[in-house]
Structures are given as C-alpha cells and as structure tokens.
Amino acid sequence: MSKIDKILVPTDFSSAAESAVTYANNFTEGDGSIEITLLYISESPLDEEDQSALEVKLHALKDRFLPALKSSCQCVVRSGSLTETILTMQKETGADLIIMGTKGASEEGEPAISRTSELVLEADCAVLVVPENTDTFTVQNIALALGKNEIDDSFALGTLHDVARKFGAKVHILTINNEEGAMVTEDKNESILEYYLETLHYHHVFPKNTDIEKGIFDYVREKNIDMLAILPRNHAKKSKPSEGRLTRLLTLHTEVPLLTID
C-alpha cells in the first residue's frame, strides 16, 4: 500500500493557501516521520534581495501555521511557471502528496483556478485540493467517486487506503447512475476495490442522477462527506486533458477537500 511520507505545499500567501498549510499541519497529526516542503513560486525572475525576503516570509508562515509540527519542514523559493515548477519540485523532493488551496470557481474565471485543475491532471502523485473556506479538520467519511469504466490504475487505491486507515475513516464508493431507467447489475471494479480496501469499512452505492456532478455533490452534502476522492486518469481517459471535464468541474466546485489519486 502507498504511504504518504513527504508533502509538498505550494503557497502564494493568500487565505486559500493558508487554508492548505493549516490542513497540511492537521493532516500530519503529530506524525514526525512526514516531511513537509513549503514552496513559493515567482513567475518573474527574482534578485537576491527579493529571494531573501520571500524566504523570511515563508519561514514566518511556517512558524505561524505549523507551530507544533513534529516533522521536518523546508522552505523553498523558486521562479518559473506555476504548474511546471510544482511538478519539478514534486520530483526533486519525492513528495507523495501535494496539498494546494483553491478559492473555487468565480465569475471572472481566475487563472489560478484552471491551473489547479491543470496540476491535478498532470501530476504523477496524489493532489489534495483544499477549498478556501475549510475551517475545520475531520476525516471521518471519504467518498470515492467512480465511473462505470474499469479502474485504470488500481495501485492508486493504495493512497486512499493509507489516508482512510490513518484517520479511521469510512469509505463510500460512489457511482452515479445517470442513465434514465437503467439498473446497475454488475460492477467490474468490485474485485479490485475488495482487494485494496478489504481492511477498511467501505460500501458501494449507486444513486441516480442525470447530472453526474450534481449527483456527487448532493451525496457529499447528504452524507456529511469530509473528503471527496477521484481517480483523474479514469475521468480523463489516459490523461488526455481535453477529456478531463469532470475532473475540472469537481476541482472548481468542490466544497470539501478533494483528493485526486494518481
């Protein structure tokens, strides 16, 4: 099973980013073996003075939001394009998880929002998207939203297993039946789910809704889900970004932390 040992947290010092740092602090839950890297990215070149000032600011952020952190934490300032630099740092640090804040959808369609979904689709590790208004931390119920296609990479479920076991969470496997009058009679993913989640408390449900996104979020609200999980490669057929519409929508509109597993 996949174990999360290293976490990368990009920040731009916004309130959304602060929510992500706070969530990362709670996620470690006093586990001194988990390493955290705080990363600030400037999309324009930095001189030595700016670099030093930003490093000081990162350390102040660490002291403010990670006061009782028992694990090691490094603060890194880089310049470059946002997504590319995050992916490069993920490989350099060997991070198993990226935790990133988001403000959610807006009428103006902020560039950072599309970048979040772009990162989710391109990352080769799990990404946890934390909505700005996340002010409490609890992981008692996790919903894994699956389609009817066969799971593309079953090994990715190891990350879900690790997170659920860490917090003793129940796992709701959620497949929205969006075909009018159709009945789900067989699910080819059941044996895979049983193998990877057999030690967890989980069940599979098939609520009906012609709108898949609405069906997912209705279930999240009705069942008090604390974390929504998806497999982007399954929603974006072999990671083709043009086909990742549902992943993009869920990233934009989620009201609870969204764990994308890759």
CATH number of 6-131: 3.40.50.620
For residue 240, the model assigns a pLDDT of 47
Q: Residue 187 pLDDT > 80, yes or no?
A: no
Instruction: Give the DSSP letter of residue 154.
Output: G
For residue 115, the model assigns a pLDDT of 78
- 3-class secondary-structure state, position 7: strand
CATH number of 141-260: 3.40.50.620
Q: Of 173, 178, 172, 184, which Cα lies nearest the Cα of 214?
A: 178
- Which alpha helices (DSSP H) does 126-172 contain, by range? 157-167
Start-end ranges of CATH 3.40.50.620 in the chain? 6-131, 141-260
102-132 residue pLDDT tens? 886 654 545 455 678 889 989 989 999 999 9
Q: Please give the Cα distance from 26 to 58 (Å, whole number).
A: 18
pTM of the model: 0.89
**How distant, in Å, are the alpha carbons of 5, 38, 260 from that of 8?**
10, 6, 14
CB 142 within 8 A of CB 131: no
Instruction: Give the DSSP letter of residue 255.
Output: S
Quickly list DSSP for 170-211: EEEEE--B-STT------TTHHHHHHHHTTS-EEEE--B-SS
Q: Kindly tell me the burial class for residue 50, based on how many C-beta atoms sit within 10 Å of its own C-beta (0-12, 13-18, 19 or more).
A: middle
95-104 residue pLDDT tens? 999 999 988 6
Q: Please give the Cα distance from 101 to 8 (Å, whole number).
A: 12
Residue 19: both structure tokens together: 């929510």
Distance of CA 163 to the CA centre of its chain: 11
* Mean of the per-residue pLDDT values of the chain: 86
